[in-house]
Amino acid sequence: MSAIMKQSSLVRNIALLLALLASAMPAFAGQTAFESAFDKIWNRDKLTGDWGGLRSNLSKHGIDIDLRLSQYYQGVSSGGVDTNSEYGGTMDYRINLDAGKLFGAKGLSFNLHARTRYGYDINADAGALALPNAGMMMPSPGDYHGTDITGLTATYMFPFFNERTGVITLGMLDAIDMVTGFFPNIAYGQEGFWNVNALSSNMPWFGAVQGLSLYGGMAVTVHPKYKTAESGFLFTGTKNESTSWNSLSDAFDDGVWLAGFHRFFWDMDDKMGYFMVFGGGSTMEQASNDPHDFIEIPGQGVESTEQKKPWDIALYIYQDIWQDKGDPNRKANIFLGATGGPDNPQFAQWNIFANIEAFGLMASRPHDRMGAVGWWNGLSSNFKELVSPVTNLRDTWGFEFYYNFEINKWLHLSADLQLVKNQNADDDLAVIPGARLVIDF
């Protein structure tokens, strides 16, 4: 009883002290100094503000710095490979140097994207092809911990024909940044959908390259009205560079991945839409996955006797279906995609997905974001047959639902739920809830 009374007395004394300190602080516009300082921090665009004017001064002279911490708590509550939950996250460092402001080279800029990865994810617990957390796949998938540069590029923008802007980018390309560039609403698993299958129709492309940070380049044109990449081509090496930093010659030793795209834009009731064709392939030869192309060589084991070059074609349809007349940022859209390719040598032959997202659906919550998506990946029949003596595989499919709640401009909290059937025929449906907290510094 004495201990309880002492604890109660301590609480009262602390409360009294805080009240006295608050009353002693000078008032400012009806607030205490503490309340005023709190409001200034709470209403900033970034948590750390303008750094005493340094941030805006750097930007004025062509140096922009963005820092973002993304934290994830996600688990497989049932089904999948194993039931488990993990906490992990990434710190993103972005530096953009505008050479026009720095030394008069108009149109030229240099961009660096580095990431620190810490903690763990449940990608393996959900299934090798379930991929429920895109944000935790960089700098390297798995249990990697550390800091690496995932993107380092030089970009030149210049006037092109018919009022279009030309853009040329060379350097180390961050694959998730590239996807975000092609589809700006995606935001690489930090604002919208988490699952890689929900970001774009990409499963059949996996295997054509061996990493998410790749040496290469792209040249695109930007539409003057829609401010979106209209057409272009790109090339990359086939080796991951974020943790190895091979020389340029080594990066292309095994071949080059080449791709091109074009968007056909339209307006439907003054709302943007487009149809996009995206096709590509690799010059890197890969072992055939046809079981008939394998032989047993004494002393060496089983080897493929054929080499194939992967290629795929992807089609996308996008349409804004609602837009607030007073605030164009409040809108809803649908996005559909499909990718197809040969049954050999890819392990996945086709993919389809469809999602719907809403931005500021409620007028009282203009900066919230929400979405729902479903996808299906068709695995190669050759690949299924090839591995059948070891394991039984099936097509994969899933659904994802999320709501991104803006607490303030620099703080966002998301709730996410995924239902995924992975590639293992014996595994039950994986139920994967998660929470994501993103802080912009």
Contact partners, residue 9, CB within 8 Å, separation at least 6: none
The pLDDT of residue 13: 54
Beta bridge partners, 340, equal 313, 350
Contact partners, residue 78, CB within 8 Å, separation at least 6: 428, 429, 430, 431
The pLDDT of residue 291: 77
Question: Token digits for 104?
Answer: 């008069």
The pLDDT of residue 310: 86
Cα separation of 134 and 200, whole Å?
Answer: 11
Predicted TM-score of the model (pTM): 0.86
Nearest to 352 by CA among 204, 208, 212: 204
Cα separation of 403 and 20, whole Å?
Answer: 41
Q: Are 314 and 338 in contact (CB under 8 A)?
A: yes
Q: Please tell me the CATH code under which domain 34-440 is placed.
A: 2.40.160.180
The pLDDT of residue 19: 52
Per-position pLDDT tens, the chain of length 441:
444 444 455 455 555 544 544 444 444 445 688 778 888 899 999 999 999 999 999 999 999 999 999 999 999 999 999 999 999 999 999 999 999 999 999 999 999 999 999 999 999 999 988 999 999 988 877 777 889 999 999 999 999 988 999 999 999 999 888 888 888 877 667 999 999 898 887 766 666 666 788 899 999 999 999 999 999 999 998 877 766 666 676 778 888 889 999 999 999 999 999 999 999 998 888 888 877 776 766 666 667 777 788 889 999 999 999 999 989 999 999 999 999 988 888 888 899 999 999 999 999 999 999 999 999 999 988 888 888 888 899 999 999 999 999 999 999 999 999 999 999 999 999 999 999 999 999
The pLDDT of residue 20: 47
Burial class of residue 13 (count of CB atoms within 10 Å of its CB; 0-12, 13-18, 19+): exposed
CA 416 to mean position of chain CA atoms: 15
